């Protein structure tokens, strides 16, 4: 739980790897039930939805704050907007959630612009032709998205920001506690 709050870069990379690995079985399983383009879109929607919830946890926002963008994207996923347009819309909704709801400010918007275009290009320009290349493209997308946290300094621990590691901080706190206690002489 604390790992999600303190290491968003690692969380994003691991989640992207999970999405890449889960893409083939999930989209194939859904395509048995519904027409493949819709199964593809719903699979991407699930990834964006779970990642949006993770972003809300990282930003310590209410989960209900991200519901409206996710509902809009879900309606688009079942409406027939497929492949290129749906991918761009998914990246747009993810940007809306991350820089419009979870993290607000000018530096976040600039970081969003820097990571949005290469991330969308990883999915659109690479134009995957098989499930395996789609899975790799999805992981590549999340790898690019992890740069967002490095550009905004959200990806650093408190100990990395202060330049002192956690053990050193604990040692100093213990020394301060011991030095404040009155000494008892026997």
CB atoms within 10 A of CB 113: 11
Q: Is the pTM of this model over 0.75?
A: no
Q: What whole-number distance in Å separates Cα of residue 163 and Cα of residue 48?
A: 34
Q: Which pLDDT value is given to residue 2?
A: 42
Q: What whole-number distance in Å separates Cα of residue 99 and Cα of residue 120?
A: 16
pLDDT digits (tens, 9 = 90+) for 71-95: 989 988 888 766 677 887 888 888 8
Q: Give the residue with greater pLDDT, 10 vs 108.
A: 10
Give which of 22, 64, 71 is closest to 45, Cα–Cα: 71
Q: Which pLDDT value is given to residue 6?
A: 52
Average of per-residue pLDDT across 85-113: 78
DSSP code, position 146: T
Q: Which pLDDT value is given to residue 119?
A: 72
pLDDT at residue 47 greater than cutoff 90:
yes
**What's the token pair of residue 11?**
């969380």
Residue 75 near residue 89, CB atoms below 8 Å? no
Banded model confidence at residue 145, pLDDT cuts 50, 70, 90:
confident
Q: Which pLDDT value is given to residue 144?
A: 83
């Amino acid at each position: 739980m604390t790992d999600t709050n303190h290491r968003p870069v690692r969380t994003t990379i691991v989640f992207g790897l999970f999405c890449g690995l889960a893409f083939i079985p999930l989209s194939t399983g859904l395509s048995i039930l519904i027409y493949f383009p819709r199964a593809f879109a719903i699979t991407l929607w699930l990834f964006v939805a779970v990642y949006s919830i993770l972003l809300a946890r990282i930003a310590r926002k209410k989960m209900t704050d991200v519901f409206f963008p996710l509902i809009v994207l879900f309606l688009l996923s079942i409406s027939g907007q497929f492949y290129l347009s749906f991918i761009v819309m998914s990246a747009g909704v993810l940007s809306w959630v991350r820089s419009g709801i979870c993290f607000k400010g000018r530096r976040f918007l600039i970081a969003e612009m820097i990571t949005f275009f290469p991330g969308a290009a990883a999915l659109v320009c690479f134009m995957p032709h098989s499930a395996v290349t789609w899975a790799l493209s999805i992981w590549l997308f999340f790898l690019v998205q992890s740069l967002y946290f490095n550009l905004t300094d959200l990806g650093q621990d408190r100990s990395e920001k202060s330049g002192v590691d956690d053990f050193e901080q604990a040692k100093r706190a213990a020394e301060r506690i011991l030095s404040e206690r009155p000494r008892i002489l026997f």
